[in-house]
Amino acid sequence: MRDITINDILKMIFAHIKLIIIVSVIAALGAYIYADNFIPKKYSSTSMIFIKYSAADKNDTSQSGGDNQVSAGSLSLSANIAENAAVIFSRCEEMLDIIPSGYSVSIASISESNALAITVTGSDAQVCADTANAIRNAAPEVVEKYYYDAEAVPFGRPASAPGGHSSPNETRYALFGFIGGLIVSILISIIIEVIDTTIKPGDDLFKIYDVPVFAEIIDFDTDSASKKKGAVKR
């Protein structure tokens, strides 16, 4: 078996560049079609609330903020309560009863703030939005039940049905398919060249016989015969 260098591998790849491109493109299209037609689509909808540490705000009589305002002094405490409330929301019966079967809910604080994002993911866009809003509306009662010094306030617009699905990502599947097809086609090209026992001109002769090749003599008989066959076909 002959020694293979990086230069040889590059020559093998360029010798089968059409095969590599065709296989890679077909693999990318196949992966895209598979993701678009055979993988169930999932939709996500998000609503928001924020948590107030109400005890501190009630005791702070120096300023008369609105019901939805949080004092700067209680903001860190509100953020801590929000992080804890996210855990309670994901496990308490009041919230679990709202979630339809087959749907998943993610409740997490945003950037360590006192705001909570409620994201519902499932197969129906409108059900996701309705569930996110139901959890948003139930949050004040749940917080009041588990915390005597905090309250939940709906924040921002209610969740709406998303216009498009959140998964699968067809473009990502196509990219992975292209990369997979590229790797497989390159391996096939290298294997084809390695198992080919015919002697190639130039470098192969030098590697086998350890003799430099200064010139090549064309087989005129073979060349002229091929031309005659071409002329007869015309």
Host domain of residue 98? 43-155
Q: Are residues 177 and 136 in the same domain?
A: no
Q: Are residues 48 and 103 in the same domain?
A: yes
Q: Is residue 164 part of a domain?
A: no
Q: Are residues 31 and 48 in the same domain?
A: no
pLDDT score recorded for residue 80: 84
pLDDT tens, residue by residue, 63-114:
445 555 555 556 677 788 888 888 888 889 989 999 999 999 999 888 877 8
What's the rounded Cα separation, in Å, for the pair 93 and 82? 18
Q: Are residues 25 and 49 in the same domain?
A: no
Q: Are residues 10 and 74 in the same domain?
A: no
Query: Residue ranges of the chain with pLDDT lower than 50?
Result: 57, 61-64, 228-234
Q: Are residues 53 and 151 in the same domain?
A: yes
pLDDT score recorded for residue 50: 86
DSSP string spanning the chain?
-----HHHHHHHHHHTHHHHHHHHHHHHHHHHHHHHHTSPPBEEEEEEEEEE-HHHHHH-TT----TT---GGGHHHHHHHHHHHHHHHTTSHHHHTTSPTT-EEEEEESTTSSEEEEEEEES-HHHHHHHHHHHHHHHHHHHHHH-SS-EEEEESSPP---SS--B--HHHHHHHHHHHHHHHHHHHHHHHHHH--SPPTTHHHHHHH----------HHHHHHHHHHHHHH-
Nearest CA to 16 among 183, 204, 192, 195?
Answer: 192
Q: Which of 124, 155, 186 is the last residue of a domain?
A: 155
pLDDT tens, residue by residue, 187-203:
998 888 888 767 665 55
Instruction: Please state the domain count of the chain.
Output: 2
Q: Which of 127, 155, 183 is the last residue of a domain?
A: 155
Q: Apex CA 87: angle with CA 92 and CA 66, to 5°?
A: 95
Q: Is residue 203 part of a domain?
A: yes
pLDDT score recorded for residue 127: 96
pLDDT score recorded for residue 231: 46
pLDDT score recorded for residue 171: 96
